[in-house]
Amino acid sequence: MKALKVGIIGFGTVGTGVYNVLQGFKDITIEKIAVKNINKKRNIDNFDENLLTDNPYEIVNNPEIDVVIEVAGGVNPTFDILKTAIKNGKHIVTANKELLAKNGSELFALAKENNIIILYEAAVAGGIPIIMPIKTILCANKITKIAAILNGTTNYILTKMAEKELSYDVALKQAQDLGYAETDPTGDVEGFDAAYKISILSTISFNKKVDINKIYREGITKITADDIKSAKALGYTIKLIAMGQVLEDGKIDVRVHPMLVSKKHLLAKIDNATNSIMLSGKPVGDLVLTGAGAGSEPTASSVVGDLLVLASELEASNKPIPQAICNHDQVAEQISIGDTYNEYYISINATNNPGAIGVVGTICGKNNINISTIMQNGINEDNTAEIVVITELSKESDIQNALNELVKSECINKIDNLLRVMN
């Protein structure tokens, strides 16, 4: 293996994990590590403080460094730092899903121009090998669909809400206390993290550039204990699902939102902080990859794996790995959420008057919506009733029209929630 000199940008959980794993490889030398706070105490045995710098440009401008490992995250100033590294002839290994989702096209074009390799296995699903398998062993396939649980924080919260009948707020607090959720959990619970990841997966799977700004995104903050209870009674569990699919007309449907997942479905069995990715392709059929989607060691496994692939290829040739080059000249034609077709769960608060369920059925029928299941969850103290509806396959725009009509009806007080269903 070619001896490599590397610089690491970012020294948090993942960066520390990468440092620890690399101690077992004598042909890889860490030259510098860029950190935000150079005076922070590092809980690492025999650590050489001279490796640290608070100036990442000291790494990307160092002619001795071959590869830049970027695990700092974010877009600014990381985008400019990596552009500088590429222009200076540094190969890149990154775990930065947000940067790749937002600015990947420009980075890959610049890398191609400079004969540079960018590897990013760790950017999606932590320790689960998915990027390189899609680019190599699965490249003979036409992948048509992805359905995945890509965020461990939200999956942990929803698991605990289901297992212990907790409210969202209580489950979130537990996740924060255990280190599964950040103090500000917005990136996870509002679906941003999963959206970045499905953007990357869809782009490489469908060979068309997916625009992160056109991905429908909805988080889990509106999920209630009542939703969890109703889903369970109907034979479902609730998961935050990231999905992408190629439609018959060639258009692309990519979105992130909570779904009622049938308990018979494999993704319904993925609990706590675990991630799972289902791929459908031809000729391979359906594949499922499951494992740790985050954390120091799983993510470091992917980062160092990329680094070793890079070292091996550079020993044989100084040309980029063909599978690592992203050529997405075609831009995907993405459909809006209003044009998607789904089965739906609708939770309705109605006045406990005769005919309320009939009104729901009439309005749904008027909007081309067939109901497969309808149930009433008792009577509340204020003489209101909770009505839960599961529809057959319907168009999103028809559903939204029906909801607008329902809330105008005298016997309907409000729509508590609308969720899509996966069987």
- 405-to-203, 362, 365, 398, 400 alpha-carbon distances in Å: 38, 11, 12, 11, 9
pLDDT band at residue 399, thresholds of 50, 70 and 90? Answer: very high
Name the residue type at position 54: D
Confidence of residue 295 (pLDDT cuts 50, 70, 90): confident
Over range 92-103, report the average pLDDT.
97
Among 180, 178, 177, smallest CA distance to 154 is for 180
pLDDT of residue 321: 66
Q: What percent of the chain has pLDDT over 70?
A: 96
Distances (CA, A) of 305 to 21, 159, 259, 359: 10, 31, 33, 59
What is the chain's percent helix, strand, coil content, to nearest 5?
40, 30, 35
Sign of CA dihedral 173, 198, 121, 102: negative
Question: Which residues are bridge partners to 402 per DSSP?
Answer: none
Tokens 């396959």 label which residue? Answer: 393
The pLDDT confidence band at residue 326, using thresholds 50, 70 and 90, is low
Q: How many other β-carbons are positioned within 10 Å of the β-carbon of residue 40? A: 10
Average pLDDT, stretch 113-129?
93
Q: Strands 28-34, 4-9: parallel, antiparallel or unpaired by DSSP?
A: parallel
Of 121, 131, 59, 130, the C-alpha closest to 308 is: 121
Known catalytic residues are 197
Query: Is the separation of the CB atoms in 362 and 396 below 8 Å?
Result: no
Please report the pLDDT score of residue 329 as a whole number. 76
Which residues have CB under 8 Å from 302's CB, separation 6+?
A: 95, 121, 122, 126, 127, 129
**378 band by pLDDT with thresholds 50, 70 and 90:** confident
Q: Which residue has the higher pLDDT, 330 or 397?
A: 397
Strands 236-246 and 216-217 come out as unpaired
